[in-house]
Amino acid sequence: MNICDCSTRSAPETRHLRLLDAQRARNTSGGYIVTNPNCSTIMIALALAPLDARFGLDSVVATTLQALSGAGYPGVPSLDATDNVVPFIENEEEKIEEETQKILGVMKGERVEHAPFRLSAQVHRVNVTEGHMAALRVKLSRRASVEELKEALRSFTSLPQELKLHSAPARPVVVREERDRPQPRLDRDAGRGMTVTVGRIRPDKVLDFRLVALSHNTIRGAAGAAVLNAELLAARDLLPTR
């Protein structure tokens, strides 16, 4: 089960946590498995969730620039990474497309019905230590202005904020107005590494809007997300007792 604190048309506990009931029904021990989303997916989903909730999404094009630390240890050989960009990460594009639509989908019985918008992803490994970035282009289901997009992103909160979970940032998404932000070195630690930073929100000549999202891939996209999952399960009294 993937968990992401992205509340859209239905509350997250009725969309994702209900998957635990199906797992428990199949597993006589009462246990279950909870997984993090892909480290780029969680950033993209958090940037898209407020827009999907407010305006609806018709189609999304995502181009990622992913840090070296996302490859784990020993990761990318130094001579491959130096003075280079690698336009391929095994199975990454498929994960982003599949998981984003699942996270922003809705529950139908015991399964998640994927969000209906189209999503195309291209991925690149870049010579940055930490901090994944995604250049996003979106077509909305209804018309909106740049200022309306910014307000939707700034005002977005979800269940972790409502429950005041320890690892949850007060603002899961922040909007930067500077023309050259976000940047990994300047913005990856926002919200103790748990906040997604969005900037460069502009009209687009092909789709409706373009924007750039950034998150800390080893905190928001990995360890911090796992801790937040556990805090959410504990707050909902869903941790197994044995």
Helix/strand/coil for 74: coil
Helix/strand/coil for 28: coil
pLDDT 10s digits, 197-208: 999 999 999 999
pLDDT in the model for residue 9: 45
pLDDT in the model for residue 10: 44
The span from the CA of 3 to the CA of 228, in Å, is 9
List residues with catalytic annotation: 39, 132
pLDDT in the model for residue 57: 98
Q: Are 142 and 55 in contact (CB under 8 A)?
A: yes
The span from the CA of 236 to the CA of 193, in Å, is 24
- Give the architecture-level CATH label for domain 12-235: 2-Layer Sandwich (3.30)
Q: Are 66 and 124 in contact (CB under 8 A)?
A: yes
SS3 content of the chain, % helix, strand, coil (to 5): 35, 20, 45
Q: Can you name the residues that pair with 120 across neighbouring β-strands?
A: 61
The span from the CA of 182 to the CA of 176, in Å, is 7
DSSP 172: S
Residues of the chain with pLDDT under 50: 7-14
What are the structure tokens assigned to 208, written together?
């409706």
Helix/strand/coil for 137: strand
Q: Helix 39-55 crosses helix 146-154 at what angle (to 10 degrees)?
A: 120
What is the DSSP pairing of strand 132-140 with strand 209-215? antiparallel
Give the predicted TM-score (pTM) of the model: 0.93
The span from the CA of 74 to the CA of 185, in Å, is 22
pLDDT in the model for residue 6: 62
The HSE-up count of residue 42 (CA atoms within 13 Å, CB side) is 30
Q: Where are the beta strands (DSSP E) in 73-124?
A: 106-108, 111-113, 118-122
